[in-house]
Amino acid sequence: MRVQHAIVRATMQERLIYGPVNATAPSPELHILDSACNDGTWMLDVITDRTTQLQVQPNIKLNFLGTDLDQKHFSDLDLSSTLPSNVSIAFQVQDISQPWPDDLSGKFDLVHQRFALQYLGDSDENAQQAVARLVNLVQPGTGWVQLGEANVVGWAEGGNVDLPALRRGKQMTEDFCAKLNINTHSFQSLGRWLKEAAAVDVEVEGVCGANEWEDRVGAEGVEESAGVPCDSESCHE
């Protein structure tokens, strides 16, 4: 997972956070959730480079929460001697297909999740509900959700689809993912799922490792979407 994170960070030109997350008075601190965090590599990287990634002063209090399906991903971590005094990290078990604890609703300035929705299977409803739950966790009107998914078969679409070898490769990939119940089109659906969850200011960006997207054959795409939820009283515009 750490190698994967390094590849994604390089692909995204070292940019880990896309939303304009800021800590302002009267609460000069940030609450950040990393859903499907594995061993917390993304959070640790943000902390190390926090003045650039978050564009905040070094003394701003940062409260991170990492969640994943299995306690084993973070049970052996000892961060007591490595974290700055104004930074905290907590971990808890959470299944993204299940409701989140009520006390986390509307709590976070930023919710981050990467490469997780595709494992909810081909059910569009399951993924949409998972996204809606994530949107519910951010502060109304000011919080941001950032999601990333792989474009599993994008390398064989568009102008490249007429190449016989790519058509066969795409079919093999789709067959393999079907056996593992992996959604091959979560990449293309992120923006729609966010909008259906009443997020606004939704931005979608596709990136790849080299050259322009339409000219890249065999590129792995990562789509990042950020949106602010709108409630009946306030809406970020």
pLDDT digits (tens, 9 = 90+) for 201-226: 998 887 764 333 333 333 333 444 55
At 41, list the tokens.
């590599």
User: Does residue 14 sit in helix, strand or coil?
Assistant: coil
Model pLDDT for residues 46-91, shown as the tens digit of each residue: 988 887 788 777 778 999 999 999 888 887 676 766 788 889 999 9
Instruction: Indicate if the alpha-carbon torsion angle 53, 56, 59, 64 is positive or negative.
Output: negative
The residue type of 74 is F
Q: Which residues of 154-183 are buried (b: 16+ CB within 10 A; e: fewer)?
A: bbbeeebeeeeebeeebeebbeebeeeebb
In CATH terms, the superfamily for domain 2-152+182-229 is Vaccinia Virus protein VP39 (3.40.50.150)
pLDDT value for 213 = 33
Q: Which range among 14-18, 27-31, 150-154, 216-220 shows the weakest confidence by mean pLDDT? A: 216-220
Distances (CA, A) of 168 to 157, 178, 233: 12, 15, 51
Rounded distance between C-alpha atoms, residue 165 and residue 222, angstroms: 23
Write down the domain spans for the chain.
Answer: 2-152+182-229
pTM for this model (two decimals): 0.79
Question: Which of 33-37, 89-93, 205-209, 227-231 shows the lowest per-residue confidence on average (mean pLDDT)?
Answer: 227-231
